[in-house]
Amino acid sequence: MTETAAVVAETPAAPAFVPLKKRYIPLDNRILLLPDEAISRSEGGIILPPQAQARPLRARVIAVGEGKLLDDGKRAPMRAKLGDHVIHAQYAGTLIELEGQFLKVMREDEALLLEPAETTTLAEALEKSQG
């Protein structure tokens, strides 16, 4: 199993992800994302048609580029890591289909918030910080 597939498989709330047959590496400061599944039922239990479902604004990072090439020839470090979640604008990035799966490619700077994989809730973060 590839490192990418292992990270996604370990996370409990991941949508169904089939490991990709090929390895895809985003260029420069781009990240490859697995969007969370859209909510298909209303709070009252009504099944929503695809047109009525809100586009997911949260996605899991499954591949990371090398970083933006700077003027001095060095690369800026990427803040997003495999397994992290990002919150992004509704129309950010490009939705693509790879090997039958819908994924999103976007620049790292298009992400609005970054949720590191090791911190899942505020309570856990506070507990870790207090030792």
All domains in the chain, ordered by first residue: 3-130 (2.30.33.40)
SS3 59: strand
Q: Which of these, 15, 19, 17, lies nearest to 2 by C-alpha position?
A: 19
Q: Residue 32: which H helix or E strand, with range?
A: strand 30-35
CA–CA dist 76, 69 (Å, integer): 7
Q: Over pLDDT 70: what percentage of the chain? A: 63
Q: What is the pLDDT of residues 53-100, one digit of tens each?
A: 666 788 889 889 999 999 999 999 999 988 899 999 888 888 888 888
Kindly state the DSSP code that residue 26 receives in the 8-state scheme: -
Answer yes or no: are the C-beta atoms of 115 and 87 closer than 8 Å. Answer: yes
Least confident of 18-32, 73-87, 102-116: 18-32
Would you put residue 93 in left (φ > 0), alpha (ψ -120 to 50) or beta? left
Could you tell me which residues come within 8 angstroms of residue 51 by beta carbon, excluding any fewer than 6 positions away? Answer: none
Q: Residue 5: which H helix or E strand, with range?
A: helix 3-10
How many residues are recorded in the chain? 131
Question: What's this model's pTM, rounded to 2 decimal places?
Answer: 0.67
